Amino acid sequence: MNHIQALTDRAAISLSLLCALHCIVFPWAMVLIPSLAILPFEGEAFHIGMVIAVIPISAFALTMGCKKHKRYRIATLGVIGLMIMISALFVGEGESAEMWEKALTVIGAAFIAIGHLWNFRLCRHHDSCGCSDPSHQHAK
């Protein structure tokens, strides 16, 4: 397995889960530990930064994986997740908008994480099955 591709799959999974955890846990942590308010983790800047980080990492890992295992629906799953996360940036302002932003972010992050997990597993399987090894292919 290409180590860079495996590393980027793991990074995309981690960033997606971090983003989802941020949406779910950070509001509770702010209530329990008010001094967290001084950290730059609240608001749109964090969300935008995470989306900007996830897009190139996901694009690279899913492209490399799909070239290897030819399961393009996995890339589609990742793209859908990215589109959902990006759409969460444009929900708007207000109490109900914040709820929708969090919901869309968590759903998008789940799509991305699942897509990368499947991509990672398929790439590992592809490398261990011997189908990519030229010595295992039959001569015509």
Residue 110 belongs to a domain: yes
Ranking 56-65, 77-86, 108-117, 118-127 by mean pLDDT, the lowest is 118-127
End-to-end distance of the chain based on CA atoms, in angstroms?
27
**Residue 53 or 130, more confident:** 53
Average pLDDT over residues 3-13: 87
Per the CB < 8 A criterion, the answer to whether 33 and 130 are in contact is no
Closest by CA position to 115, among listed 61, 68, 53: 61
Residue 136 is assigned to a structural domain of this protein: no
pLDDT in tens, 35-81: 776 776 666 777 888 889 889 999 899 888 888 888 889 999 999 99
Q: What percent of the chain has pLDDT over 90?
A: 23
Nearest to 78 by CA among 120, 48, 108, 122: 108
The one-letter amino acid at 63: T
Domain range for 84 is 3-130
- Please state the rounded mean pLDDT for residues 121-140: 60
Count up the domains in the chain and report the number: 1
Give how far Cα 96 sits from Cα of 20, 45, 69, 83, Å: 18, 19, 41, 20
